[in-house]
Amino acid sequence: MLSQHFVQDFGMAVRQLREVRNWSQEQLAGHSDLNRSYLGEIERGQVSPSLITLHKLAQAFQMSATELIVQTERISLLRESQRLRLAAIAG
């Protein structure tokens, strides 16, 4: 289950980075040499991208693959923090 959350968080990171640049999915597809519909699946957390895809996306965003993973980790930490806060309120 944890890995599925990571896949979803990765998709959210990709979407956030794309939106900060005001790119459409088609524009990101052009910059990364990936299919637009595949990018949609990544952003929705429906697929687990390969290392090659990670590399292509990082290059498109002009960052390292490590920086893209760090962005994903930040989202994961925020998600967990929110979950714990809600559990404390409910508990």
* The overall pTM is greater than 0.75: yes
CATH number for the domain including 18? 1.10.260.40
What confidence tens digit (pLDDT) does each residue in 55-78 have? 999 999 999 999 999 999 999 999
CA 25 to chain centre: 13
Q: Which domain holds residue 32?
A: 2-90
26-57, pLDDT tens digit by residue? 999 999 999 999 999 999 999 999 999 999 99
| Burial per residue of 28-43, b for 16 or more beta-carbon CB atoms within 10 angstroms, e otherwise | bbebbebeeebbeebb
Specify the number of domains making up the chain.
1
